[in-house]
Structure 1
Amino acid sequence: MTETTTGTGLPKGFRSAELGWPELHRLPHPPRRVPFLGDVLGVDRSTPVQDSMRSARSLGPIFRRKVFGREFVFVWGARLVADLADESRFAKHVGLGVANLRPVAGDGLFTAYNHEPNWQLAHDVLAPGFSREAMAGYHLMMLDVAGRLTDHWDRAEAAGRTVDVPGDMTKLTLETIARTGFGHDFGSFERPRPHPFVTAMVGTLSYAQRLNTVPAPLAPYLLRGATRRNAADIAYLNRTVDDLVRARRSGGAAGSGDLLDRMLETAHPATGEHLSAQNVRRQVITFLVAGHETTSGALSFALYYLARHPEVAARARAEVDRVWGEAAAPGYEQVAKLRYVRRVLDESLRLWPTAPAFAREALRDTVLAGEHPMRQGAWTLVLTPMLHRDPEVWGADAERFDPDRFDAAAVRSRPPHVFKPFGTGARACIGRQFALHEATLVLGLLLRRYDLRARPDHRLKVTERLTLMPQGLRLRLERRTAPARTGTVPVPDEGGSAPRCPVRGAGD
């Protein structure tokens, strides 16, 4: 994309007919299209991803939707997505809700345009912060925060109360990234209500999504109150991060080589450049928001499926008992040995990837999968939950929860680029190994400590705020009196070395 872009990430002056798809008219679209309003009949503005999933099921692996004069192309067929993963022809496109986050995150790692130099600078400076050595250093802090969660859940279980899974997972993951990355404690578990940072963060995410549901020229009038609240939310996020950075610079919080130390002190190994003060703020906000919002959703969906599938929970729990034994706390290396628990997490991310879409743009004139011409700058949105449900890859039962889809043999049998919960290519999530280690560790600890019970009449409802989260999920806990003895539930001994990451071809 050129530098002359609008707030939506579209080049200035672009109209729907100029999206760079010469044969746009050949792509199917939902029926009952209304002039100017487009494909809005029967659409719930609060669930655009799930509405797009319904359209995808009827329209096929590539289709278009028009909303308030803007036309968007969606792709989910595995063969098409594999071609979009070609980094020599396609790159990340920053548009839609992602571009709407730039007022708060600017040229941070997630929201930077490809041409902005601070992306490469920050990526090269911060990548060592997610090395194996760095990850091992975070492990004890992850355990400490998880202990605060289990203390909280023990009190709820003793009182006979259910637990608010999405709320508590948000507290857990916010404290984890704040502690490990920035040496900060938000005190989330000691608060009766969400920390104001979480409230402000949710506000900015929700506002970014709402901007896509109203005509751009009318947004200042239709969203006047929401715009004022968004400005206040951004100001609060900025103040919080500025205070955190100021404390570190003054020596009030000792650094330990964490992400904030790297942002403030580390020079680029080749150029000697440092991140500017403004970019440090943007990167901290990016990591605090992206580093906890998606992981909390992944954990919440996994706990939902464990509660709904007691046979899966029993198998996973038996693996935890066998691998971790009676140790008070698992070591860093022991987390990677929870192969089946990791499958549960991966299968949850398959069905409900908490970052549900990513956009790709053509670097030059090309033909997608040999069928669909795209001019340079043309872009499309990959609908990840539907990619993960493509029956040609995942079978006719793709809607069914089955962690064995991710055993080693099954993973090897599938083509690359069919599992993309962390995006793709050079702009894939830099913190994915951090998130996977944290989530696997927490699931193991919770399985070892509790039996999880969902209400029999509970039906999964997914809420959308750019990321996905199970809505209103509450579980009843039953504290286990002692670890089950090894062998009470058959657990295959996988043997061998640590499993190959199933995010094949995801890049870094």
Structure 2
Amino acid sequence: MAKTTETGLPKGFRGAEQGWPELRRIPHPPRRVPLLGDVLGVDRRHPVQDSTRMGRELGPVFRRRAFGKEFVFVWGARQVADLADESRFAKHVGLGVANLRPVAGDGLFTAYNHEPNWQLAHDVLAPGFSREAMEGYHGMMLSVADRLTGHWDRELAAGRPVDVPGDMTKLTLETIARTGFGHDFGSFERERPHPFVTAMVGTLTHAQRRNSVPAPLAPLLLRGPSRRDAADIAYLNRTVDALVAARLDDGGGRGGDGGGGDLLDRMLATAHPVTGERLSPENVRKQVITFLVAGHETTSGALSFALHYLSRHPDIAARARAEVDSVWGDTPEPGYEQVARLRHVRRVLDEALRLWPTAPGYAREAVVDTELAGGHPMRRGAWALVLLPLLHRDPEVWGPDAERFDPDRFEPGAVRSRPAHTFKPFGTGARACIGRQFALHEATLVLGLLLRRYDLVPDPAYRLRVTERLTLMPEGLRLRLERRTARGDGVGGAGPTAGSCDSRTRSV
């Protein structure tokens, strides 16, 4: 594979036009101007939604130019299926993802394909997402959900609506911190977001902002934001270094080569099963940051969108709630297997991810000279960005009502009838999200617990607004709660569950 620069592009690669011999055949927005390209009229705060609007007009393969750089977007089902061919295409680290390398380096999400630490970390950490490991995380997920429902009970008693995105961020951050690293950020005991969250949002926002500024002018135009970004990265590094140091002080890496322990144990003490290599201290830091950021940011968005749609579709919420009551009964703490039996609740989650995939795109680059389906030649190193909000709303795949929220689209028969590679919220191929099953189990569990405990009452005046910081999240979403009186007394009312904190869970 071609070696890459820090921008994620192959060395010597000056623009997408170099890798797309017939670029002129690909449509672009009207009113293109010299030097600036297509930036007139662009919504720089919402580039994904802006590109989605433009893609509807231009078709399944289109291009946009900004400050001399050409970007090719793909959302047609045939083209996306072709890009999934691992013999011809691989993950491309570019755009905002490459902008995260100052903080995440060669972590699993931001590593280039040729960097050895990706394969090393993947092979070392994959057992941490096995069925056996997931069962071990389940009790801690319940414990964190207990803290969420305790907080929501207090908000309900005070007559206040709940801040859905804010509380889902607290929940998912605490879940990955507890299960993966034995750490407690104390998010639900804070009035303001934990500084780790503030720093994380700062780095994500800065990474996206860099996409809208010409590279030669970035040092001048982003001088102040770049200083803040450096301070945010320094804080993230210090937080993770302290977390790792605490584990080492406790005799960390207890799982060792036996394969036990949590994710941090595996990072610190597990050798590669074939080569015997171990992750370096520097790479451990990058991996921990990757998991803390990616392991909670997208899941919190998925839960937030799902709760929004459940509040707006009481018939769907009632059906999901009836399933929870039937499957879980009166058990106060559902078991691991009982979560997988919430098939309709899982379909609610999938449908929310269809309409608003919280990681809204992924890039693929050609590893050989090839032709993309539909007759677009691509030289080795050329790349395209898959635009998921349009792929997931393609009326040729999802029908004329593709904009409508309908979890029955994920009934087994409906799924089998659709072409492959038309639902990709976790990416594709070897570089797809390693924590997919973790996120789906956590989110399904939480939706089940909340549906069993509360009726969700929307604000009639609220209209869904989506904020972008590389990931997507509902903006300003608040819901009022009504406590259910039947079968609503599961996890949540009495504070942390007995035995929920082990000796290695540390608070800050």
TM-score (norm 2): 0.94
For 2:277, give the aligned amino acid. Answer: E
By how many angstroms is 1:334 displaced? 0.1
**Structure 1 residue 4: Cα displacement:** 4.0
Q: Deviations over 1:427-476 (max 9, x none)?
A: 00000000000000000000000000111121100000000000000000
Cα distance in 2 for partners of 1:272, 1:252 equals 21
Q: Quote the residue 2:303 is aligned against.
A: 299
- How far apart are residue 16 of structure 1 and its match? 3.0
Take 1:146 and 1:19, find their aligned partners in 2: how far apart are those partners?
A: 50
Name 2:326's counterpart in structure 1.
322
RMSD: 1.2
- Please show how residues 264-343 of structure 1 align to structure 2 within 5 Å: 264-343=268-347
Alignment of 1:427-506 (within 5 A): 427-483=431-487
Against the structure 1 CA distance between its residues 453 and 38, is the aligned structure 2 distance closer, same or farther, given a 3 Å change threshold? same
Q: What pairs up with 1:46-445 in 2 under 5 angstroms? A: 46-251=45-250, 257-369=261-373, 371-445=375-449
Q: Which amino acid aligns with 1:303?
A: L
Matching residue of 2:497 = none
How far does the alpha carbon of each residue in 1:101-160 deviate from its partner, in whole angstroms, 9 at most, with x for none? 001100000000000000000000000000000000000000000000000000000111
Rounded Cα–Cα distance in structure 1 between residues aligned with 2:143 and 2:78: 43
Can you give the 5+ residue segments of structure 1 that lack an aligned partner in the other structure? Answer: 485-508
Give the CA deviation at 1:54.
Answer: 0.4
**d(CA) in 2 for partners of 1:189 and 1:336?**
27
- Relative to 1, partners in 2 of residues 1:252 and 1:482: Cα closer, same or farther, differing over 3 Å? farther
Q: Distance in 1 between matches of 2:16 and 2:288?
A: 38
Specify the code of the residue in structure 1 equivalent to 2:82: D
CA contact (8 A) 1:105 1:285 kept: yes
What CA deviation, in whole Å up to 9, does each residue of 1:26-83 have, x standing for no partner? 1000111121111112211110000000011000000000011111000000010000
Q: Percent identity?
A: 82
Distance change (3 Å), C-alpha of 1:49 and 1:482: same
Q: Number of paired residues?
A: 483
Contact residue 302 and residue 358 of structure 2 kept, 8 A:
yes
In the alignment, the residues of structure 2 paired with residue 156 and residue 295 of structure 1 have an alpha-carbon distance, to the nearest angstrom, of 23
Q: What is the letter of the counterpart of residue 323 of structure 1?
A: V
* Structure 1 residue 253 displacement after superposition: 7.2
Q: For 1:208, what is the secondary structure of its paired residue?
A: helix
Identify if the C-alpha distance between structure 1 residues 452 and 388 changes in structure 2 by more than 3 Å, giving closer, same or farther.
Answer: same
Could you tell me which runs of 5 or more consecutive residues in structure 2 were left unpaired when the two chains were aligned: 256-260, 489-508
Cα deviation for residue 200 of structure 1 reads 0.4
Q: Which residue of 2 aligns with 1:504?
A: none
Once residues 10 and 90 of structure 2 are traced to their aligned partners in structure 1, the CA distance between those partners, rounded to angstroms, is 16
- Structure 2 residue identity aligned to 1:73: V
CA distance in 1, matches of 2:359, 2:137: 24
* Kept in 2: contact 1:317–1:447 (CA 8 A): yes
- Report if the CA contact (8 A) 2:203-2:232 is conserved: yes
The 2-side partners of 1:378 and 1:241 are apart by 36
Q: Contact 2:16 / 2:383 at 8 angstroms: preserved in 1?
A: no
Say whether the 8 Å CA contact 1:19–1:379 is kept in structure 2. Answer: no
Residue 18 of structure 1, CA deviation: 3.9
Residue type of the alignment partner of 2:480: R
Shift of residue 9 of structure 1? Answer: 1.2
TM (normalized to structure 1)? 0.94
CA shift at 1:415, angstroms?
1.4
